[in-house]
């Protein structure tokens, strides 16, 4: 939900201004999570133990990545309110309810 609200706020902000063009604005928590933290959060959300191996980073893999969302807060008063456990629980809940993803528009 955080991202959906952030996108709505961004569109509302942009459409209320008489300015041409766009500028990139990050939406995120401002904190990066390790792969292991993501695995643990999905295990908690799903109630299942996930099989994984801890191995060396592959060539080209970055060590960290996260979004500085301070501009989103400044420009259109948006901040992330969910933590990693909330986000993984939301994702798992959606996946359980939609195991095949979205229905195609031409399907009945």
Q: Quick check: is 107 in a domain?
A: no
d(CA 16, CA 38): 37
26 vs 66: CA distance, rounded Å: 9
- 6-57 confidence digits (pLDDT tens): 999 999 988 888 877 888 999 999 888 999 999 999 999 999 999 999 999 9
Specify the number of domains making up the chain.
1
CA distances for 27 relative to 1, 49, 51, 58, 89, angstroms:
12, 30, 30, 27, 19
Closest CA to 26 of 60, 59, 75: 75
Domain presence at residue 77:
yes
Q: For residue 102, tell me if it sits in a domain.
A: no
Question: Is residue 23 a part of any domain in this protein?
Answer: yes
The total number of residues shown for the chain amounts to 108
Residue 82: domain span: 2-97
- Would you say residue 16 lies in a domain? yes
Q: In this structure, how many other beta carbons lie within 10 angstroms of the beta carbon of residue 90?
A: 14
Tokens of 26: 């990050």
- pLDDT level of residue 107 (50, 70, 90 thresholds): low
For residue 61, tell me if it sits in a domain: yes
In a domain, 64, yes or no: yes
Q: What is the pTM of this model?
A: 0.76
pLDDT at 106: 77
108 in a structural domain: no
Domain CATH number, residue 33? 3.90.25.10
Q: Measure Cα distances from 79 to 6, 17, 93 in Å.
A: 8, 21, 23
């Amino acid at each position: 939900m955080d991202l959906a609200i952030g996108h709505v706020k961004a569109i509302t902000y942009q459409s209320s201004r008489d300015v041409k063009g766009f500028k990139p604005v990050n939406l995120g928590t401002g904190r990066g999570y390790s792969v292991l933290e993501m695995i643990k959060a999905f295990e908690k959300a799903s109630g299942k133990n996930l099989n994984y191996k801890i191995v060396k980073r592959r060539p080209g893999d970055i060590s960290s990545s996260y979004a500085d969302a301070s501009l989103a807060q400044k420009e259109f008063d948006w901040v992330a309110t969910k933590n990693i456990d909330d986000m993984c629980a939301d994702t798992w809940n959606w996946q359980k309810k939609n195991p095949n993803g979205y229905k195609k528009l031409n399907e009945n």
